Amino acid sequence: AQKITQTQPGMFVQEKEAVTLDCTYDTSDPSYGLFWYKQPSSGEMIFLIYQGSYDQQNATEGRYSLNFQKARKSANLVISASQLGDSAMYFCAMREGQYGATNKLIFGTGTLLAVQP
Amino acid sequence: DVKVTQSSRYLVKRTGEKVFLECVQDMDHENMFWYRQDPGLGLRLIYFSYDVKMKEKGDIPEGYSVSREKKERFSLILESASTNQTSMYLCASSLSGGDAYEQYFGPGTRLTVT
């Protein structure tokens, strides 16, 4: 069965340092997509980055990059030069199927990141 | 700017009450979703809809129903609220048919059932 696992309930990082948030997934579908969302304390979910299973290169969006290791079924989020505003809950999510009509996502349990000055 | 709105940020209801949570999106999205979020459990899908009047059960549909009479509006209904339905409820919407289409989320409704 499809599953997303985030093994780090919480993490600390010093301001300006890089941090990696772990995400592993399990699926038997050869076509899938991986998403990362940020949820600040205010509660809204903010889309950060997307990686498709057939994408040859790791996705990047500004200070966010996705370390996609297909053979290991991992899709870790790397945040470079952490800022205080990065303190939030981070969720990894997966969509199965190509051109998924419903775009249904499965979410992990999240990692709470605290950036320290 | 894309927008998903939910009718209430905070709601307090009594056990046995019928509860309506409303979600509206202004992006002409085909797909709409209802999740509940609980500490340590992440987001769990309750129901989703891929078209007007069309719906499918998610992972935890028990105790809930939904209605989608118009494309922009997706309602979650708790027929008889119970204390174990105290949670954060998040609505989302997305386009269909594309690999990278992300879901856009509303601000959430924190429901307390006493």
Tens-of-pLDDT digits for all 114 residues of chain B?
669 999 999 999 999 999 999 999 999 999 999 999 999 899 999 999 999 999 999 999 999 999 999 999 999 999 999 999 999 999 999 988 776 788 999 999 999 999
**How much is the pLDDT for A98?**
58
Partner residue opposite A102 with nearest CB, options B31, B102, B106: B31
Number of neighbouring beta carbons within 10 Å of residue B111: 21
Residues of A within 8 A of B88 (CB-CB) are 43
Q: What's the mean pLDDT when you consider all of chain A?
A: 93
Question: For A12-16, A54-58, A79-83, B60-64, which range has the lowest pLDDT when averaged over its residues?
Answer: A54-58
Nearest chain A alpha carbon to B94: A103
CB < 8 Å to A103, chain B: 31, 94-96, 101, 103
CA dihedral A83, A16, A8, B87 (to 10 degrees): -10
Nearest residue in B to A107, CA atom: B43
Q: CA nearest B102 in A: which residue? A: A47
Q: Is A101's pLDDT higher than 70?
A: no
Residues in B closer than 8 angstroms to A40, CB to CB, are: none
Q: Looking at residue A87, what DSSP letter applies?
A: -
Give yes or no for a contact between B83 and B114, defined as CB atoms under 8 angstroms apart. yes
Chain B, nearest residue to A89 by Cα: B42
CA separation, residue B97 to residues A99, B87, B101 (Å): 5, 31, 8
Q: Is there a contact between B19 and B11 (Cβ–Cβ < 8 Å)? A: yes
- Return all residues near A66 (Cβ < 8 A) that are at least 6 apart: A34, A36, A49, A51, A58, A59, A60, A75, A76, A77, A78
pLDDT attached to residue A29: 86
Residues of B within 8 A of A108 (CB-CB) are 42
The CA distance from A111 to A108, in Å, is 9
* A30 vs B80 pLDDT, higher one: B80
Span A46-77, pLDDT tens digits: 999 999 999 989 999 999 999 999 999 999 99
Q: Is A102 left (phi over 0), alpha (psi -120 to 50) or beta?
A: alpha
How close does chain B come to A14, measured CA to CA in Å? 24
Instruction: Tell me the nearest-neighbour CA distance from A13 into chain B, angstroms.
Output: 21
Contact A99 B98 (CB under 8 A): yes
Q: Is B41 in contact with A109 (Cβ distance < 8 A)? A: yes
What is the count of residue pairs from A and B with beta carbons less than 8 Å apart?
Answer: 67
